Amino acid sequence: MSLDNEQNVISAEDAKKAEELKAEANEHFKKQDFLESIRLYTEAINTNPTVAVYYGNRSIAHLKVECFGYALADASKAIELDKSYVKGYYRKAMAYMSLGKFKQALKTFEAVIKARPNDKDAKAKYTECNKICNKLAFEKAIAVDDLKKSVAETINFEGMVIEDDYKGPALENGKVTEKFMKDLISTFKEQGKLHRRFAYQMLLDVKQYLMSQPSLVDIKVPDDEKFTICGDIHGQFYDLLNIFELNGLPSETNPYLFNGDFVDRGSFSVECIFTLFGFKLLYPNHFFMSRGNHESQTMNQMYGFEGEVKEKFSSQMSNLFTEVFNWLPLAHCINQRVLVMHGGLFSKDDVTLDALREIDRNRQPPEDGLMCELLWSDPMPDKDRAQSKRGVGVQFGPDVTEKFCQLNKLDYIVRSHEVKDDGYEVAHNGKCITVFSAPNYCDQMGNKGAFITLNGKDMKPKFTMYSAVPHPDVKPMTYASQFFSSLM
């Protein structure tokens, strides 16, 4: 049916019903119930598919739940229906920005300016986006000129003076100790700072260790021991402390795996990452960290971590974090029975664990391939595969998970990457588990957080749910790109 024919058959009753659905969806959006607003906008669209605003509104709701691919499609459809719908261009640009496609975002704003040359807001956003593109081009040129010289090689932390009035935690003979970690947590809890000398030393030591690790790390959990898996924490430091309060501090008898997205969005990402890296250095064989899609330069530039590191330390340290994140393992296999990765499975069958071990991970995440999909993919209830709702990676069904587990002799997979109301979700006939550990994500989603505990003998997952705890009055996204924050 053509669009013209669709327009001709929309009854007054359907048009009225669609408007009512949109109004109801708007109320849920205001309450930050984004999933319900998406459902209602979809009903409105199904009732009357000719109104650009419905697609535009659903686009911003998709952006809120990080479905960037869907957001881009909706914004594009809104513009197709109404080329004068300026919000559609903004949301299309936002989706491009979220996907790291800055040049396409810039072209989108060029179209707005061409259509509405007197729109001051559009000009301002075009200017800001252009600055980001120029900055990225400059950084790329510098990287080529320097032949990608390592930032780590330029740092002399021993020459950094520790001031007499510094009262914070100190490494003991250059090493992380249990006392240091307790002092560090106490200092961070009171919003104190770690001295830059110790911060740089920890980062260099972590990088050196991670470089020795494979892309897929094998973990052995004895029969009678507990093992804990946590999902995204996204800079929510006080909720991280709550996990340790509920489940105990990491130790050789209380091992943990944190499954990516340690930073961004939450405004205590620096505190989170140094706490986690500290435990990694203290218990290298009993504390594990997987890379998430947010442990990347583009995400850190937009969602706040880069700005936070610059504010609390320096640009040089931000660049060093990029190098360290490149060496984080991409997946962990527990007792040869459970595979844990941040995102999910793959666009092709016959992917083996050995293939994952062979991934060259020391780089920024590519836009396709095994590394990309490990970081970005999502499960879906339907069989087979589908285009990613995020615009990166794939969606994979229960049959894909079943085949993968059979091929690699796995009981199930654990992944993170998605907000869940209860902090976790068991899908694909029990073979695909999502765990998300940032409660009330971004201070607005209202979800619980959760972590998984299992023992080495039966490997059966047990779930602990918890609510968000209070934190100092520093809002999420405080350090994010102004351009990005303004569009959210």
Which residues are bridge partners to 433 per DSSP? 414, 426
Which residues are bridge partners to 412 per DSSP? 338
Kindly list the distances between the CA atom of residue 34 and the CA atoms of 75, 401, 447, in Å, as whole numbers in the listed order: 17, 28, 12
Using alpha carbons only, how large is the chain's radius of gyration in Å? 23
**Whether 109 contacts 122, CB under 8 Å:** yes
d(CA 178, CA 267): 26
Residue of 482, 441, 424, 480 lying closest to 236 (CA atoms): 441
**Whether 416 contacts 436, CB under 8 Å:** yes
- According to DSSP H, which parts of 377-467 are helical? 398-408
**Whether 250 contacts 279, CB under 8 Å:** yes
Residue of 66, 64, 62, 65 lying closest to 76 (CA atoms): 62
Residue of 365, 462, 66 lying closest to 232 (CA atoms): 66
Neighbours of 254 (CB within 10 A): 17
DSSP state of 431: T
Q: How many residues does the chain have?
A: 488
Q: Taken in order 209, 263, 436, 57, is the CA torsion positive or negative?
A: negative
d(CA 321, CA 302): 15
d(CA 284, CA 93): 42
**Whether 3 contacts 52, CB under 8 Å:** no
- Hey, what are 138's tokens? 């400059």
Instruction: Say which residues have a Cβ less than 8 Å from residue 261's Cβ, sequence separation at least 6.
Output: 231, 232, 233, 234, 292, 293, 294, 295, 342, 416, 417
Kindly list the distances between the CA atom of residue 455 and the CA atoms of 165, 170, 287, 431, in Å, as whole numbers in the listed order: 46, 35, 15, 17
Nearest 10 degrees: Cα torsion 448, 286, 319, 197 = 110
- Hey, what are 107's tokens? 């072209």
Q: For 288, list phi and psi in degrees, rounded to 5.
A: -130, 150
- Hey, what are 234's tokens? 């996204």
Task: Provide the annotated active-site residues.
Answer: 294
Residue with tokens 């205001």: 30
Give the HSE-up count for residue 421: Cα atoms under 13 Å, Cβ half-sphere. 5
